Structure 1
């Protein structure tokens, strides 16, 4: 099972993955923008949908583990290892 740290920026002009960045502790985070606003979990749902499409996996394999009310989130992806996940997202 892979874990992915994400920095979500809601209210963007388009849904897109901006690439890798580092957080204040030097850990890699994936920067993602979604059009939806952070109202009643809509931005989190848009994030899950965008990641599922980008990874080519069913939406049900992704879970929001941490950060429901924060811009920094931890996503868990069933059926994928950390190395495979990072390799797939690095090619974007």
Structure 2
């Protein structure tokens, strides 16, 4: 069976972009899977005063092992669908970090 990797991350100059679908106010911060070509991410912070966006950036920085300053919100500041730019990481590196292949 052929497996085509999802297209939620795309290479751009000096890094990549990442499409996410955020579920704020969740019980815990977690990668919840894929949703309509984006990474579905649960965030415990409420969607008020940019707290969910900040928590999203902090979670991704931790998972990708990059400083928060290397992750910026490109679009979707007030919506659930967002695009982030990650400097210094390729799309393949981001995909591998968010969805590692688990050995049997």
**TM exceeding 0.5:** yes
Equivalent residue, structure 2, for 1:13: 27
Task: Give 1 or 2 for the bigger CA radius of gyration.
Answer: 2
Of the three residues 34, 44, 53, the one matched with 1:35 is 44
Q: Which has the higher contact order (CA 8 A, sep 6+)?
A: 1
Equivalent pairs, count:
87
Q: Which runs of 5+ in 1 are unaligned?
A: none
Of the three residues 7, 16, 28, the one matched with 1:2 is 16
More helix by share: 1
TM-score (norm 1): 0.89
Of the three residues 64, 70, 82, the one matched with 1:73 is 82
Of the three residues 55, 62, 66, the one matched with 1:46 is 55
Q: Which runs of 5+ in 2 are unaligned?
A: 1-14
Structure 1 residue 81: Cα displacement: 1.1
Q: Any idea what the Cα deviations from partners look like across 1:52-83, whole Å, max 9, x if unmatched?
A: 00111111100000000100000100001112
